[in-house]
């Protein structure tokens, strides 16, 4: 049996329970707050970011690990396993994959994979990698299968408030004013490894989420129903439950996994953000 270790950036937003159950090692990215560096999910949480911004602080930023930091982690893991497969947030969103790829060249048994996604969009890729590793598949075959699989992930989020996007320079003051006046909630989706505005919903956050879930799932026969994530930074429990019930009304999934988004999504989108993330059939 080949002994393979699956590792991933903290941006994959998998719950501690899933990380433990699948034996995954999470490598935290850096979060910069007031010029100081913190480890995502270790020294800083989304709640810390929201409290900081609510108190008048500047928006936190995130940064990739540098090559030497990846080298240090791979040097620790490489001797312990037959292979190490590390899965990164999309290379269009971060230099993490580039840095991990450079670091992996120093080790014959370390492979870096570009998830072409973020949050539990990457999480889908990570869990599939762990399942393949457990099945005894060869490392090189896992890497090739993951490259194909990344193109089948559908990741999107609906954002209630645009102030975080404005603070981060991703949205103008005029656009925020217009969205607030019209009660618009944008849906951000990942396409070809990058984020794009897919649609703008109108109405309350809850009403928009119901419509969003139906738009994503209704009438489709191409969805892999083995697993779906409902991921959010800090939505009210009743909102999350409403989304779960709406998903289950429309389509049966073997697993409906609810996870909390980490510091990356939280820094860019704010607390009232929620997405459903799933895969298409091969």
Radius of gyration for the alpha carbons in the chain, expressed in angstroms and rounded: 19
CB neighbour list of residue 199: distance below 8 Å, 6 or more residues apart: 186, 187, 212, 215
CA separation, residue 92 to residues 26, 96, 109, 192 (Å): 20, 10, 25, 9
Helix (H, G, I), strand (E, B) or coil at 239: helix
Write down the pLDDT at residue 194: 86
Write down the pLDDT at residue 179: 45
For residue 203, give both structure tokens. 């109405």
The rounded distance, in Å, linking the Cα atoms of 11 and 201 is 26
Write down the pLDDT at residue 165: 58
The rounded distance, in Å, linking the Cα atoms of 195 and 246 is 25
pTM above 0.75, yes or no: yes
Residues in the chain: 282
Write down the pLDDT at residue 164: 65
The rounded distance, in Å, linking the Cα atoms of 165 and 168 is 5
Question: What are the strands of the beta sheet with 255-260, ordered from one edge?
Answer: 194-202, 184-191, 153-159, 273-280, 223-232, 255-260
Cα-Cα-Cα-Cα dihedral sign, residues 44, 24, 132, 65: positive
Kind of pairing between the strands at 36-39 and 61-63: unpaired
Structural domains of the chain, with CATH = 4-151 (3.40.50.10170), 153-280 (3.30.1180.10)
Q: For helices 205-217 and 237-250, what crossing angle results, to 10°?
A: 30
Nearest to 146 by CA among 159, 164, 160, 133: 133
- Cα atoms found within 13 Å of the Cα of residue 271, Cβ hemisphere only: 15
CA separation, residue 280 to residues 18, 151, 195 (Å): 21, 9, 18
Write down the pLDDT at residue 227: 98
119 close to 265: Cβ distance less than 8 angstroms? yes
> Could you report the average pLDDT of every consecutive run of 10 residues in the chain (282 residues)?
94 97 96 91 92 87 92 98 97 95 98 97 98 97 97 95 56 42 77 86 94 98 98 96 98 98 86 96 94
The rounded distance, in Å, linking the Cα atoms of 19 and 9 is 12
């Amino acid at each position: 049996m080949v002994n393979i270790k699956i590792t991933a950036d903290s941006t994959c937003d998998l719950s501690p329970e899933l990380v433990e159950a699948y034996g995954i090692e999470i490598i935290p990215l850096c979060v910069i707050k007031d010029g100081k560096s913190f480890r995502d999910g270790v020294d800083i949480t989304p709640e810390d970011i929201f409290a900081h911004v609510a108190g008048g602080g500047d928006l936190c930023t995130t940064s990739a690990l540098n090559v030497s930091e990846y080298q240090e982690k791979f040097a620790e893991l490489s001797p312990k396993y037959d292979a190490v497969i590390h899965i990164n947030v999309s290379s269009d969103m971060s230099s993490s994959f580039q840095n991990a790829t450079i670091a992996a060249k120093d080790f014959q048994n370390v492979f870096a994979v570009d998830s072409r996604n973020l949050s539990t969009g990457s999480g889908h890729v990570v869990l599939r990698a762990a399942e393949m590793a457990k099945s005894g598949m060869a490392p090189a075959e896992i890497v090739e299968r993951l490259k194909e699989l990344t193109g089948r992930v559908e990741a999107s989020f609906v954002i209630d408030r645009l102030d975080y996007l404005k603070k981060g320079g991703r949205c103008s003051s005029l656009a925020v004013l217009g969205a607030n006046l019209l009660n618009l909630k944008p849906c951000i989706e990942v396409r070809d490894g990058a984020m794009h505005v897919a649609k703008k919903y109108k109405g309350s956050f809850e009403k928009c989420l119901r419509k969003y879930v139906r738009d994503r799932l209704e009438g489709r026969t191409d969805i892999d129903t083995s697993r779906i994530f409902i991921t959010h930074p800090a939505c009210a429990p009743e909102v999350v439950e409403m989304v779960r019930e709406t998903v289950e009304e429309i389509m049966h999934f073997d697993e409906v996994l609810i996870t909390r988004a980490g510091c990356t999504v939280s820094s860019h989108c704010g607390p009232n953000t929620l997405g459903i993330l799933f895969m298409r059939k091969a």
